[in-house]
């Protein structure tokens, strides 16, 4: 993808980022080792704690002073094969500071070592623990949003589907940042030539293959493995989907939003012209990023009645 296709506010930063071979197992192992060594970005203006469950690690962010009575379960990105909860400390702390939410961020297990359903199981475990702890923090268990970016957005969608089917306490909404929703995108080798920034289709194919233990686009997949494969979307919680139009996940995000709306789900789709994957994380101070985050916060204020 040519740099001219990217928004002027983002070009300088993206021109400096090389194309990384996430599909290379040796590189992936090295990257995940280095990621574990990166120090967390602590914010002294929020109360921070950690917890370890059977499969998942949790990072908890609570606002100083009175909380608003609502919460957010956050799921990090990384194509299901890399990433860590601590890399989103800044974003999670921002939710606690600006919206007064109690935030629980999930450190789930990664493929290829831990294929499906490990990551989704960890997210479910985190949700149940949050439900148990919520009253002690002054949080209404029925006022918790599930949210995530990229692979985390896809896991948030899958978790919302599973919770609906189980008839458990439902999330009040799902907020999905450029979500990784559909393995059939990875099966399209014609997309390899576009060379999308940050996360391209070769990496996407590797991520889905290792997570599913199967080729992307296979006929029979287990329930909740690929959220876009679900036939019935009626009854799912209100949704916000935000994605840039030069993101590999643009088309699948738009399709999922359309299907949710057609199923009667309150769904807000915010698309951003000339915005590649994870642009708001890479250039957070750009006006285009600030506007994007503002739309997400506006959605959360609306569904949570803040």
The structure tokens 């921070």 sit at 48
Out of 7, 182, 277, 289, pick the active-site residue: 277
For residue 96, the model assigns a pLDDT of: 97
Please confirm, yes or no, whether 277 is among the known catalytic residues: yes
Is the distance from CB of 167 to CB of 95 less than 8 angstroms? no
Q: What are phi and psi of 136, to 5 degrees?
A: -70, -15
Please confirm, yes or no, whether 49 is among the known catalytic residues: no
CATH number of the structural domain 3-304: 3.40.50.1820
For residue 280, the model assigns a pLDDT of: 98
For residue 43, the model assigns a pLDDT of: 82
Domain chopping of the chain, boundaries = 3-304
Please confirm, yes or no, whether 114 is among the known catalytic residues: no
Beta-sheet pairing, 71-75 with 102-107: parallel
For residue 40, the model assigns a pLDDT of: 82
Out of 107, 182, 247, 270, pick the active-site residue: 247
Instruction: Give the tokens for residue 84.
Output: 């860590």
pLDDT < 70 positions in the chain: none
How far apart, in whole angstroms, are the C-alpha atoms of residue 95 and residue 103? 7
Out of 150, 203, 209, 289, pick the active-site residue: 150
Q: Among candidates 103, 96, 100, which has minimal Cα distance to 58? A: 103
For residue 100, the model assigns a pLDDT of: 97
Helices (H) and strands (E) in the chain, counts: 9, 8
């Amino acid at each position: 993808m040519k740099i001219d296709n990217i928004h002027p506010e983002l070009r300088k930063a993206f021109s400096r980022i090389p194309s990384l071979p996430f599909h290379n197992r040796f590189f992936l192992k090295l990257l995940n080792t280095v990621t574990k060594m990166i120090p967390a970005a602590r914010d002294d203006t929020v109360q921070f704690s950690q917890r370890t469950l059977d499969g998942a690690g949790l990072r908890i962010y609570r606002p100083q002073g009175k909380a608003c009575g609502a919460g957010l379960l956050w799921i990090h990105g990384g194509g299901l094969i890399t990433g860590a909860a601590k890399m989103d400390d800044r974003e999670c702390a921002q939710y606690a500071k600006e919206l007064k939410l109690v935030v629980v961020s999930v450190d789930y297990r990664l493929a290829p070592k831990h294929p499906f359903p490990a990551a989704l199981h960890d997210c479910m475990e985190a949700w149940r623990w949050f439900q148990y702890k919520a009253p002690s923090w002054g949080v209404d268990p029925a006022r918790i949003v599930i949210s995530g970016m990229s692979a985390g957005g896809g896991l948030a969608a899958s978790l919302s589907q599973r919770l609906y089917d189980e008839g458990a306490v439902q999330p009040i909404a799902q907020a999905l940042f450029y979500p990784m929703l559909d393995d059939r995108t990875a099966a399209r080798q014609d997309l390899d030539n576009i060379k999308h920034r940050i996360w391209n289709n070769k990496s996407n194919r590797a991520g889905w293959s290792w997570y599913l233990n199967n080729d992307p686009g296979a006929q029979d997949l287990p329930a909740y493995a690929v959220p876009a494969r679900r036939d019935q979307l009626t009854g799912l919680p209100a949704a916000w989907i935000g994605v840039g139009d030069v993101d590999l996940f643009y088309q699948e995000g738009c399709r999922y939003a359309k299907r949710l709306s057609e199923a009667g789900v309150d769904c807000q789709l915010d698309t951003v012209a000339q915005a590649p994957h994870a642009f708001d994380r890479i250039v957070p101070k750009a006006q285009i990023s600030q506007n994007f985050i503002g739309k997400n916060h506006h959605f959360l204020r609306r569904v949570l009645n803040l």
